[in-house]
Amino acid sequence: MFETVTPPEPDKIIRLMGMFAADPRTDKVDLGVGVYRTAEGRTPVMAAVKQAERAIWDRQDTKGYVGLLGDPGYLDAMRRLILGDGLPASRVAAAGTPGGTGAVRQVLETVRRLRPDVTVWISDPTWPNHPAIIDHLGQKRQSYRYYDPATGGLDRDGMLADLGRAKAGDLILLHGCCHNPTGADLTRADWQAVADLCVATGAIPFVDMAYQGFGDGVDEDAAGLRLLAARLPEVFVAASCSKNFGLYRERVGAVLIVTDAKPAADGVLAGMNRQNFAFPPDHGARVVQDILGDDALAATWRAELEGMRQGMQANRRALADALRAATGSDRFGFLAAHKGMFSLIGATPQQVDILRDTHGIYLVGDGRMNVAGLTPDAVPRVAQVLAQVLA
């Protein structure tokens, strides 16, 4: 079957990980791969996760199947974490999924099944897996303007003008917070404007929430989504616990659908899970459920997440300051204003190659930098090199 198949290009980020691992330079810096790192360069198991896992190990006496949607306790905890207590549970359909990617896939496939003709609107740029999954499913897609490289901020007018062309039933894919790859987020007024636009056009928001807690705080990061959920009849959410619980490899995610037809939506989601993978993974989801359901564990988790958030902000400020000193300008001031792990640094693909090959500084090809990959001792050299290569 595969004799005549040309192997697809390996995933760029996976290839970058391999190149970094094989690079013998001791001062190499990985600002490419999208995982959180401590100041020591580690991606640790969070303390609350370890504690919850220990308790599960002691308590769990079966690995029998759970339900097709996952454990109702997990789904309830995720609903509260993401949507808050403002919406009745009876208006939120929910399903566990393998990670946030699984959730994105299940939302898009659900929409394709129910409304094969809708267009999915994605930001330019966006996480590359968004267009990849949409194309794989054979859905129509359009890009909307999002980022203004001149200011390092949101192109609000461009975004609203493009989204104004969305038709009733079209899906508008938004990043809930910590936009990947730009780091430029919507303000409350921008979310309000998107809600107005959805009311006017009948377009449906689809919020990808992969970094809740990495921007301004757990509740602050969900404020835009909650505003949409309070105003609109239908909102889709794909959530990931990979980053904010550090559960990357456990594959913990969820679909939430704000709807007046919860029983029907739950039924469709259960069928969709059944056909794609049957039961969602349980272990990581149970860890999340146990953390959020225990006041002491939840406090430990929130404190650790807050420390991670502050660490990333400190990295942003340190690099912006060092770049101000190295360039004598505020050209990279946007780094301090951006949210989450990522920023687009404004490097061409050739400059990204020079940074990697000559200086051992690894970025993604579009110039996306993961600020969590910075360590305090690396900041001065990274700033000097960036100032020189991007001059």
Ligand X SMILES: Cc1ncc(COP(=O)(O)O)c(C=O)c1O
Q: Looking at the annotation, which residues are catalytic?
A: 127, 208, 210, 243
* Residue 144 burial (CB count, 10 A): 22
Pairing of strands 368-370, 342-344: antiparallel
201 three-state secondary structure: helix
Which value, in Å, is the radius of gyration of the alpha carbons in the chain? 21
Cis peptide before 125 (omega within 30 of 0): yes
Residue appearing with tokens 């959530």: 239
Q: Is residue 347 within 8 Å of residue 355, measured between CB atoms?
A: yes
The answer to whether the CB of 48 falls within 8 A of the CB of 300 is: yes
CA angle, 141 as apex, 137 and 143 as ends, to 5°?
A: 140
Per-residue tokens: 238: 């794909």
Q: Is the CB of residue 84 less than 8 Å from the CB of residue 219?
A: yes
Burial letters for 301-336: b for 16+ Cβ neighbours within 10 Å, e otherwise?
A: bbebbeebbebbbebbebbbbbbbebbeeeebebbb
DSSP classification of residue 382: H
Angle between helices 72-83 and 283-292 (to 10 degrees): 60
Binding residues (CB under 6 A) for ligand X: these are: 34, 99-101, 104, 127, 175, 180, 208, 210, 240, 242, 248, 253
Distance of CA 74 to the CA centre of its chain: 20
Give the Cα separation of 146 and 162 in Å (integer): 9
- In 3D, which of 368, 387, 388, 342 has the Cα closest to residue 184? 342
- Environment class of residue 350 by beta-carbon count within 10 Å: exposed (0-12), middle (13-18) or buried (19+)? exposed
In this structure, the dihedral spanned by the alpha carbons of residues 300, 43, 52 and 237, taken in order and rounded to 10 degrees, is 90
